[in-house]
Amino acid sequence: MAKFKKDGGRGLPAINTSALPDIVFMLLFFFMVATKMRDKEMKVKTQLPQATEVEKLEKKSRLHYIFVGPPLDAQFGTTPRIQLDDAFATVDDIQQYITLKNSEKDEKEVPYMTTSLKADKTVKMGIVTDIKQELRQVNALKLSYTAAKDIRDQ
Amino acid sequence: MASRKRDIPEINAGSMADIAFLLLVFFLVTTTMDIPTGLQVALPPITEEPPIDSKQKKREVLEVLVNASDQLLVEGSILTIDKLRQKTVDHLTNEGKDPTLSTTSTKAIVSLKNDRGTSYDMYVQVYNELTAAYNEVRDAYSEREYGRPYSKLDPSRDKERIKAVKKKYPKKLSEAEPVSIGK
């Protein structure tokens, strides 16, 4: 009897948690490296269309972003607007914006710059066509219609 | 001696995990892992000269029109979007069989024209179908010739093969200058 009692009294041994910080740090570093902070504040709604033939865009440093969509803030109305960086813009600003952004880059990189057009599904083609014309004017000929991958069975 | 040893107490690292967890949760929440994806398009450069070969034979061109109410007109007849891919594939792989479609794949052109009132969603879908058709015929050709689909060819090793496939099925997807017809 005494023998049994002694066994039960010992209880569960404490789990060694000294390696826990190591594991947590490992996860932490993974997420720190994988994180890309949102650097632009969205002013327009961009619900992307879906497509099956999308390709990955290679380098984030070689991208210009143009956002088109109805403003998130209702006080600006519902007409689709263009957003460049953090501010609303008009079609006429695009040429200047692209030229400015290209001048910050290495000259060799400029021909590889792709414009990522993030437009809302509901936007009409009129504004998109205008943007395309502006891009052609500044010889920014690589364009990407940003779309979400459609997981349809092919 | 004994008192000297006691001078440097051990740092309590018990709360280290808590701090690390806090940071971990922060990064977990802020992380967005979506890789940007999109339909790649090469815009035509602006030229002063008028297009040289304006008198393209009509049968070489597959005319795709999208109107302001997102309806599709292919070669003069209304078509639904789910049939567009097959129609384009037929056009590209016709090789002179059907008198209304292209004579050879190297000459085949797809012309896309949209209205200013067309929705962007519809346009992307149409563009997607046309791109899909090109990918499909290229994959099939590559599979026949080299036993591997075009999308699986390695750009560093199979340069010649990729070139050959591109030569056989050049992506001639032309977009008309914008017009505005009817709202």
Band (B179; pLDDT cuts 50, 70, 90):
low
Q: How far apart are CA B29 and CA B21, in angstroms?
A: 12
- Domains of chain A are 50-149 (3.30.420.270)
Coil, strand or helix: which one is A70?
Answer: coil
Contacts of A24 in chain B (CB under 8 A): 17, 20-21, 24
Q: Do B24 and A27 touch (CB under 8 A)?
A: yes
Contacts of B40 (CB under 8 A, 6+ apart): A55, A114, A142, A143, A144
Instruction: Answer yes or no: is pLDDT of B150 > 50.
Output: yes
Q: Do B37 and A35 touch (CB under 8 A)?
A: no
Q: What's the pLDDT score for residue B182?
A: 47
Q: What is the dihedral of CA B54, A111, A44, A133, to 10 degrees?
A: -20
In this prediction the pTM is 0.77
Q: How far apart are CA B99 and CA A71, in angstroms?
A: 50
Interface probe with A: pick from B30, B34, B39, most Cβ of A within 10 Å: B39
Q: What's the pLDDT score for residue B7?
A: 77
Q: B10 vs B113, which has greater pLDDT?
A: B113
Q: What's the pLDDT score for residue A56?
A: 83
Coil, strand or helix: which one is B62?
Answer: strand
Task: List all residues of chain A from 4 to 23 with a beta carbon under 8 Å from chain B.
Answer: 17, 20-21
Q: Does B132 touch chain A if contact means CB atoms closer than 8 Å?
A: yes
Q: Which residues pair with A71 in a beta bridge?
A: A44
Model confidence pLDDT, tens digit, residues B52-79: 555 557 778 888 888 888 888 888 888 8
Percent of chain B with pLDDT over 90: 5
pLDDT per residue as tens, chain A (154 positions): 555 555 555 678 888 877 888 888 888 888 888 777 666 788 888 888 888 888 888 777 888 889 999 998 888 888 889 998 888 989 899 999 999 989 988 888 888 889 999 999 889 888 998 899 889 888 888 899 988 887 754 4
Residue B172 and residue B133 in contact, taking contact as beta carbons nearer than 8 Å? no
B124 to each of A100, A122, A143, how far by Cα in Å? Answer: 28, 11, 13
Q: Which of A137, A147, A38 has its CA nearest to residue A85?
A: A38
Task: Please report the number of interchain residue pairs, chain A to chain B, with beta-carbon separation below 8 angstroms.
Answer: 142
Q: Does A27 touch chain B if contact means CB atoms closer than 8 Å?
A: yes
**ipTM of this predicted complex?**
0.75
Q: How far apart are CA A40 and CA A147, in angstroms?
A: 19
Q: What's the pLDDT score for residue A120?
A: 92
Q: How far apart are CA B165 and CA B92, in angstroms?
A: 13
Annotated domain spans of chain B:
58-175
